Structure 1
Amino acid sequence: MEADLRSRFLEGMSRVAAAVTVVTTDGDGGRFGVTVSSMTSVSADTRRPSLLISVHHLSPACEAIKKNRRFCANVLSDNQSFVSDLFSGRLKHLNEDRFGAIAWHSGATGAPIIDDAIVSLDCELKTGLLWGTHFIFIGEVEQMELSAQRSPLVYANRGYRRAIPIAPEDKKPRASENQLRAGFFITLGPELVPALIADFAIQEPSIDLRLLEADHDDLVEQMRAGSIDTAITFGSVDDPELKVELLSPPDPHVLVAADRPLAGKSALRLADLADQPMILLDHPSVRRANTALFQRHGLTPAIRLQSPTFAMVRGMVAQGLGYSIVPQKPQTMTSLDGRLIVAVPLEEEFPEGAIIAVSPRREHPGALTNAFLAKVRTAFGTTLTDPFQRRG
């Protein structure tokens, strides 16, 4: 194969969004699991519904599936990126006991069903074909479990994504003369929004403000889809159709429990943290930013625990379970249970920690959007107290 054709094919396929699936198996061939992006239905009208998976021929799971003659396709929910990383081999310190790190139970065939996957399809293997470097397996579904989770974990552009609606859920026509739709990074909202709305409502008493709290990637996609008018978030946006304004430069700090040795340092470097357990705020953009930060210095973070809520991250740090890196110096230095946390400056640069305002690049921006962003600039200059921000 031509090298250029192969590289272009890989680049092209990286742009194709796919649900993330962990394929598991158990039996005489052993218990194994592997993360795949190639899983699709074949037919609902065979003797039993059938589906197809593709597994690299060198994966231990591949040989086990052939011997066990069974597998379960577990389609992960959008809060299970840890499970995907676990079975893709990224969390090497857990390679010896991957199933011990998650909750699961046995299905009808004996293959592990991962708890809280949006759907698990427990299959009997019917046929397999080696094509190039991968075995294509077709199985018939013997058992299917659906969880309360409905939003799948998606992989596209070499990163995790969440599935979000392109159009607003409410179909009421937009009252363009007084409606403003604003998005905030999930940790920025609680402290910034209430005071900002109260202040803005005095200035614009008839304002109809619609709020969206989401991860950085979701906010950008919602703006591209026209679902929001502006967003306050972290990082950067490389899109000629969007206007980006810096609100606050990065001010990275390491959060540690007050009684831990690292708390006594005047500053920390990544080399001081590489062997320490990390508590990760589990959003795709945060995971990507932390990975990039460490990779620039030839290091890999040792992620021990993760949570999509900053209150949980703060609580686990306060208990001494690990450290966390935040892009801005916190103001509140206690967890919800009153335990003390210390914020130690990080010496390395962290450009992903900048706070930015994003809006569509229009020749004539809406008056409400302009007025709202002016109020945001004032807030960042004087009154912000959000856990991920510093005072101006």
Structure 2
Amino acid sequence: MDADLRTRFVEGMSRVAAAVTVVTTDGDAGRYGVTVSSMTSVSADTSKPSLLISVHHLSPACEAIRQNRRFCANVLSGNQSFVSDLFSGRLKHLNEDRFGAIAWHGGATGAPIIDNAVVSLDCELKTALLWGTHFIFIGEVEQIDLSAQRSPLVYANRGYRRAIPIAPDDHQPQRPENQLHIGFFITLGPQLVPTLVADFTRERPDVDIRLLEADHDDLVEQMRAGRIEAAITFGPVEEADLDVELISPPAPHVLVGTMHPLAARSSLRLADLAELPMIMLDYPSVRTATAALFKRNRLQPLVRLQSPSFAMVRGLVAQDLGYSIVPQPPQSRTGPDGKEILAIPLEEDFPEGAVVAIAQPADRRSQLAGDFLAKCRAAFGHVRQDKKIPVRPGPAG
């Protein structure tokens, strides 16, 4: 095969968004599961609905599916990235007992159904075709489980994404003039929002403030969809269609527990950390920024635990289970249980840790949004009017 054609195909397909599915099987050949992005319906109008999955021929799950003659396609919800990582083999310390790390139950065929997946389709295998390096399996659906979760986990650009609502129709009623929609990166919200909202509402008690906490990419897309007017997130950022302003320069710190081997240090370098267990805040932008930080310094982090909850990350750090890197000094220096956490300055540059405001262009931005951004600047004590930061994307958490 033309090597360049293959490289461009792989890169092109990495940009195609797909729901994340864990395919499971159980039977005489054993219980297995594997994360796939290739799952699609075949027909809803045959004797039973049918769907197609594709599994690499060297995956242990592939041979098990062929022998067990059954599989369940579990489409993961937006908060199940841990399950995806588990069955993709990224969490190697759990490889021996993956099903012991999650909640599941048996389906009609006996294949495991993963609890809280958006939908689980339990199938009898009808067709298996080897094409190149992958087996194409077509199954007829015997049972369908629908959970209360409705938002699927999405994979695109080699990272997890989440589905976002469609922009409102132009003919819908205009937003009330006293309504303000503002977004915050998920870890900045608890630090900034209560004080900011309290100060702002004292001056403007008539304003109806609607708040959104989300990952960086979600904030950008929600702004483009017209659902928020401005957001505070991490950068550097290059978004040609939005205004970007530096609010606070990066000040990276390493969080460790009081009994951590490096707790006595006054500052740290990445080389001090690379071989020690890390606790990662589980958001796409955080993983991207952390990977960029280590790659620039020709190192790789040893991620031991991941959680989408910053409170959980702080709690695990406080228990001396690993370190975490934050782009700004944390307001809270304790875990949820009150145990002390130390914040030690990191010596390497971390441009992804700058706090930035992104907003609709001035001609599309309300006066309320401008006033609220002014409050944000004052909160960080770093006012820099009308400065753009034309550098590569890569927000951090």
TM-score, normalisation: structure 1: 0.90
CA change 1:263–1:12 in 2 (3 A) is: same
Hey, what's the Cα distance between the residues in 2 that align with 1:370 and 1:210?
Answer: 15
Give 1:122's aligned residue.
Answer: 122
Q: Is the 8 A contact 1:166 1:227 kept in 2?
A: no
Q: Which runs of 5+ in 1 are unaligned?
A: 384-388
Q: Is the 8 A contact 2:168 2:225 kept in 1?
A: no
Q: Is the 8 A contact 2:317 2:324 kept in 1?
A: yes
CA change 1:260–1:11 in 2 (3 A) is: closer
Give 1:285's aligned residue.
Answer: 285
Hey, what's the Cα distance between the residues in 2 that align with 1:354 and 1:57?
Answer: 44
Matched, 1:225 2:225: yes
CA deviations on 1:292-329 (whole Å, 9 max, x unpaired) are 32333343333333322222221222122222211111
Give 2:43's aligned residue.
Answer: 43
CA change 1:260–1:4 in 2 (3 A) is: closer
Question: Structure 1 residue 284: deviation in Å?
Answer: 1.9
Give 1:267's aligned residue.
Answer: 267
Hey, what's the Cα distance between the residues in 2 that align with 1:32 and 1:301?
Answer: 28
Aligned length: 383
CA change 1:314–1:148 in 2 (3 A) is: same
Q: Is the 8 A contact 2:229 2:365 kept in 1?
A: no
Hey, what's the Cα distance between the residues in 2 that align with 1:293 and 1:150?
Answer: 34
Matched, 1:6 2:6: yes
Task: Give matches, 1:140-159, under 5 Å.
Answer: 140-159=140-159
CA change 1:150–1:261 in 2 (3 A) is: same
Give 1:386's aligned residue.
Answer: none
Question: Secondary structure of 1:316's partner?
Answer: helix
Question: Structure 1 residue 4: deviation in Å?
Answer: 4.2
Give 2:55's aligned residue.
Answer: 55
CA deviations on 1:123-148 (whole Å, 9 max, x unpaired) are 11100112222211001122222223
CA deviations on 1:39-77 (whole Å, 9 max, x unpaired) are 011122222221110112222222221122111111111
Give 1:187's aligned residue.
Answer: 187
What amino acid is aligned across from residue 179 of structure 2 in structure 1?
A: Q
Hey, what's the Cα distance between the residues in 2 that align with 1:264 and 1:67?
Answer: 56
Identity among equivalent positions (%) equals: 74
TM-score, normalisation: structure 2: 0.88
Give 1:251's aligned residue.
Answer: 251
Hey, what's the Cα distance between the residues in 2 that align with 1:246 and 1:238?
Answer: 12
Q: Is the 8 A contact 1:105 1:115 kept in 2?
A: yes
What amino acid is aligned across from residue 53 of structure 1 in structure 2?
A: I
Alpha-carbon RMSD across the aligned residues, in angstroms, is 2.5
Question: Secondary structure of 2:329's partner?
Answer: coil
What amino acid is aligned across from residue 22 of structure 1 in structure 2?
A: V
What amino acid is aligned across from residue 374 of structure 1 in structure 2?
A: A
Question: Secondary structure of 1:261's partner?
Answer: coil
What amino acid is aligned across from residue 206 of structure 2 in structure 1?
A: S
Question: Structure 1 residue 382: deviation in Å?
Answer: 7.7
Hey, what's the Cα distance between the residues in 2 that align with 1:183 and 1:10?
Answer: 34
What amino acid is aligned across from residue 86 of structure 2 in structure 1?
A: L
Task: Give matches, 1:96-175, under 5 Å.
Answer: 96-167=96-167, 173-175=173-175
Matched, 1:85 2:85: yes
Q: Is the 8 A contact 1:258 1:340 kept in 2?
A: yes
Matched, 1:351 2:351: yes
Question: Structure 1 residue 218: deviation in Å?
Answer: 0.9
Hey, what's the Cα distance between the residues in 2 that align with 1:312 and 1:90?
Answer: 20
Hey, what's the Cα distance between the residues in 1 that align with 2:289 and 2:253?
Answer: 14
